Structures are given as C-alpha cells and as structure tokens.
Amino acid sequence: MRTIRTKVYQFSELSESAKQKAIEQYRNSEHYNQHYFDEIIESVKAVCELFDLKNGRAWSDIRTSHIDDNILELKGVRLYKYIVNNYWSSLHKRKFLGCIGDNKIIKHRMSKTHFYDMSKGARVNSSNFIYSNIQFENSCVLTGICYDDDILQPVYDFLKRPDLSMTFEDLMQGIESAINKTFRDTEEWLNSDEFITDEIEANEYEFKADGTRF
C-alpha cells in the first residue's frame, strides 16, 4: 500500500489553461438545469392562455388558425385599441410603492410577501402593501418570472410604438419568435464560461493543477 499526496486547488487558483479545461469538463458533463426551461414553459403557458394560442409539438410552435380572421387581421390603431381594451390589465400591474408601518412607508424588502421595518425589527404583512393607482409596470406580470418579459416584449414594443402595418397575427408570430429566442438564449447562457464559472465557484469544487476535477 502506498500514499500519494496531491495538491488541490480552488478554481480561482488555477492557471488560465487549467480553468478552461475545468470549464470544458463541466460543460461536457451532465448537470441538472431543466428548472430554467421549466420556468420558460410556465411563461409560455401563461402567454398562450392570455392570447388563446395553441401549441404544436413544441412549446415554441404557436398556432393561431382557431382564432377568428377578424381578430387576426386587426392592425394599426384598431389593433392597439383591441389590445388595450382586452389585455391591458393582464399586461400591466400597479406599481409597488412600499408598505405601511407606523403610518410611514417602509421599503426594506424581506421576501416576496413581507417587508422588514428596520427601525423596529419587525415584519410587515402584505396586507399593508401600497400600490399606485396611476403608475403601472410590466415586469414579470404573468408568472413572476423574468421570462414573461422576454416573451411579451413584441407586445410591449407595439404598445409603446404601434406599427400601423402590423396585424394581430404578426404580433403572435413575434411572440413565437420571442419564445424561440428565449429558449436559445437560455441554452447559450447555461453553456457560457461565465455561468459555468459561477456554478463551479458557488459549489466550491476543487481541482488538480491541470484543471481536472478532484
């Protein structure tokens, strides 16, 4: 029997070539990142439900053939008014201002449902949250996840600056393209050196000098 001593390194201690080897090994191994795509799918489901869209074999395959032609052909000002009249309240939410504690507004967030009054060291319940009646925002309005924004971006762009030649069907095709782009961008991000480096450092993996996982 013999004992072999091996020096181990944190990722930050590796040479640049060893770091790249460590990154490549991580990229080529199996890691559970499905939850990112599950979140995209939840946003897709919410958007499809909102606009009464159907899916083909893939979540990024959007079908509109069941929608009345009179709606699909709406364009310009008529399309703008149709979206505002039918979807504005779903596409926007009242802007959050803070919450009431001892007759003053507190803005120290503790979690999604509670705020923390730092002056008293006490939690403030969501029943005391304050929302504006005149200011609105459109961040994560459907599922609370950022993918809502990515997929709905064509609609927000249209509302901000209506294209008089764009039809409702064109807008739904824009959503389809946005869904494809969201899946593609997420896949690229999960395989990027930056993401992988963050994952390696967060998990405090150790390596041999050449970048091989210890």
Residue among 74, 66, 80, 90 nearest 169 (CA): 74
pLDDT of residue 122 exceeding 50: no
pLDDT at 2: 84
Q: What are the backbone angles phi and psi of residue 98, rounded to the nearest 5°?
A: 155, -155
Neighbours of 86 (CB within 10 A): 13
pLDDT of residue 77 exceeding 70: yes
CB 89 within 8 A of CB 97: no
pLDDT at 113: 43
Average pLDDT, the chain: 85
Q: What are the backbone angles phi and psi of residue 26, rounded to the nearest 5°?
A: -65, -45
Q: What is the pLDDT of residues 3-58, one digit of tens each?
A: 878 899 999 999 999 999 999 999 998 777 889 999 999 999 999 999 999 999 89
pLDDT of residue 103 exceeding 70: no
As a whole number, mean pLDDT of residues 62-68 equals 96
pLDDT of residue 187 exceeding 70: yes
- Could you tell me what percent of the chain has a pLDDT over 90? 69
Q: Scanning the structure block, which residue is given the tokens 């599922």? A: 143
Q: Scanning the structure block, which residue is given the tokens 């504690």? A: 101
The band of 70, judged by pLDDT with boundaries at 50, 70 and 90, is very high
CA quadruple 83, 87, 62, 148: dihedral sign: positive
What gap in Å lies between CA 83 and CA 181, rounded to an integer?
A: 23
